[in-house]
Each structure stands twice: as structure tokens, then as C-alpha cells.
Amino acid sequence: MSRYRSEFIFALCNSGAEKALKLEVVSMGLPWRFSYQKKGFVAFKADTSIGTFDEVSLNEPVAFARRICLSLGKASTAEAAEDLIRQAVGKTPLIHRARYFDHTMEGLNTVPGVLPEQPELGVCIGTIVELGPDEFFAGLHIHTSDISPYPAGDSGIIMPERSPSRAWLKLEEAVRFFNLSLTKRDIVVEVGCAPGGVVLALLERGIPVIGVDPARMADVVTPYQISDRYETPAGKPWLYHCRKPAALVGKKDLGQGVTWFMSDMNQSPEIIIKECIRFASMSSGIRNALMTLKLTDLSQVVEKSAWFEMLKSGGFKKMRLQSLSVNHRELALFACK
């Protein structure tokens, strides 16, 4: 039995992704009728075939939605929005705050840059979204293992100056959004690794990396670099830079023990997924994959079932496609066996 129902739901997304989100909802055949939109915010009304939404409606895997909430209505102040949440839940639950500010739908953490505690699974969370000076929406959702624990699906992580690229942020945000388990026992192969933002984030987590890219790596990762894949230092992270295009990488370049495939190549989704499957066939220890899919147009999201089918044919069982707060014209795709 569902605890909460509403005629409306709203989705929080990256600014500029609203149209693609609506297109994705239509392509998924969901009984959601478009109702209202602002930058970073799209609301839907339940189709007459279902009448109202409940908590289960929030679990639809809409890639462009960073957070989906049952809508409790609109208010002119944050306090009034909080009242709407209190009335619906019967007490004040954990409240997440979000706002559209500086062209960004941002989640607000109590202390900027400091991650809040992870909510427990099954807990009801209220969200107050500020869209303008007198426009606040109140919503709620139930925390599950498949959604980000952070307000508006935005961990608020800040990139350190030493990172040679924004890709550092993409890796760190994906780890938090998908709650990825990466340990020092893993070996990651990253294709499209230069100049090395992702590589740096992994090395600093203590994880060895085989980086594939014909381009040069930034100096910041030089201290970790080894020249022979078969002579790896024990007990500390290392980087083996395989300076080739992905298509020329063979079993010998990978060696033993690779557990993760990652890609940040600026190639089409189909080429990236094809390489993911080929790498996993060369290295049977690859159980997990994290790929940044660069889109020429956000409407390419309607091809997502074809991407999932390709991955299934390569032995991957669970797939999650997601727009992260740090993504622009791209989507993060996580897949595991």
C-alpha cells in the first residue's frame, strides 16, 4: 500500500535538459502528461489511466531527471512549502533544499562542500525547490539504493585546483550518485584518459589505472607513471599509460586483474559501448563499467534501449543511465555484470 499520492510529480534536471526530459518520458510510454516547466524543473500530471501518482511512480529510470518527487504543491515562501511537507507526512521529515541559481539547478548542502549524512533506505525525504523569489515547490520521495542520497541529486563536490580537467568531477560525482564501490583491490582501465582528471581521482583513492589515449598526460600524474605493465609496484597505486587508440588495445596491454572499464572518449555512444564489450571480453575480471556518453543532441536519449540491448548482449545485467549535475552535453552510463 502506498503511503503518499499526488496528481502531480516534478523532476529536477540540468538547465537546458527540460525538452529532452519530456521527450524521454514520451519515448518511455509513461502515463505522465506534461504540465509545467521552468529552468531545471519539469512537472507532470497523472494521465487519466492512472489518476494519481504514488511512490512507485518515482522509481521510473528517467535519465535526465536527477530527482523525481511527488508534488505537494506550490508556495510563496520556503516556510509555507515546509508546512505542505509536514501536513503530508504528519511530522517534519528530513528536508532537502534545492534552488535554480546562476543557470544551475543546485542541491543545497547545509555546509557547502561538506557531504550530508547518507539517509537510510526507505526513509521519506521532503524537498523544497526555490525557482524564483516567490516560487517554491514542495515535494517528497522515498530514498532507495538506486537514487542519489544528495539534495536534487547534486553532491556539491568541489574540484581541487590540482585536477587537470573537469573529468575529475564527473568521476567523483558518479561515485556519489551511484554509490559505487571502488577499492584498492580494483584495477581500472580508462579509455580517453588524457589529460588525467579521472586518473588523478582514482590514483588518489589508491586505485591503479591503465590509461588508454594517444594524447599526453598532465604532469600531475607523472609521479605515479610506470613504463612496463608487467612491473607494477606493490602496495601503491600506479598509472600505465597505453598511448594508443582504444581499438588497437589488445589483451597483452591489459594484463591480468582489470576489474573496471571506464570511458571518457569523445566518440559516439555506440563506439564506446562496443569498446566496453570488447574490453570485457578480453579481460573477464571486468564486472563494472562507467562511461560518459557524449551526445551531439540531448534527444539521442531516446536511443537508450538500443544501448542497453548492446550491453546485455555483452553480458552486462544492470544498467543505469543518468544525467549528473556536472554533465553538460553528456550522460553517465553505469553497467554491471
Ligand X SMILES: C[S@@+](CC[C@H](N)C(=O)[O-])C[C@H]1O[C@@H](n2cnc3c(N)ncnc32)[C@H](O)[C@@H]1O
What residues line the site for ligand X (CB under 6 A)?
164-165, 167, 191-198, 212-215, 245-246, 264-267
The smaller minimum CB distance to ligand X, of residues 51 and 214, is found at 214
The smaller minimum CB distance to ligand X, of residues 75 and 262, is found at 262
The smaller minimum CB distance to ligand X, of residues 148 and 165, is found at 165
The smaller minimum CB distance to ligand X, of residues 12 and 209, is found at 209
Report the C-alpha gap between 94 and 117 in whole angstroms. 11
Beta bridge partners of 291: 263, 333
> Is-cis flag, bond preceding 195, omega within 30?
yes
Residue 146 corresponds to which amino acid? Answer: D
User: Residue 64 has which C-alpha cell?
Assistant: 535526465
In whole angstroms, the minimum distance from the beta carbon of 211 to ligand X comes to 8
Handedness of CA 128, 28, 16, 194 (dihedral sign): positive
The smaller minimum CB distance to ligand X, of residues 152 and 167, is found at 167
Q: Cα 89 from chain centroid?
A: 28
DSSP single-letter state for residue 42? E
In whole angstroms, the minimum distance from the beta carbon of 117 to ligand X comes to 29
The smaller minimum CB distance to ligand X, of residues 65 and 298, is found at 298
Closest CA to 71 of 23, 118, 36: 36
Measured from the Cβ of residue 184, the count of other Cβ atoms closer than 10 Å reads 12
Closest CA to 40 of 103, 87, 114: 103
Do the strands 318-322 and 330-336 form a parallel or antiparallel pair, or are they unpaired? antiparallel
In whole angstroms, the minimum distance from the beta carbon of 294 to ligand X comes to 8
Helices (H), the chain: 18-27, 78-89, 167-178, 197-204, 251-254, 269-282, 304-313
Rg, the chain, Cα only: 21
Closest CA to 157 of 145, 136, 171, 142: 171
In whole angstroms, the minimum distance from the beta carbon of 279 to ligand X comes to 11
In whole angstroms, the minimum distance from the beta carbon of 66 to ligand X comes to 21
In whole angstroms, the minimum distance from the beta carbon of 323 to ligand X comes to 17
The smaller minimum CB distance to ligand X, of residues 50 and 271, is found at 271
In whole angstroms, the minimum distance from the beta carbon of 84 to ligand X comes to 42
Residue 63 corresponds to which amino acid? Answer: A
The smaller minimum CB distance to ligand X, of residues 66 and 294, is found at 294
In whole angstroms, the minimum distance from the beta carbon of 325 to ligand X comes to 18
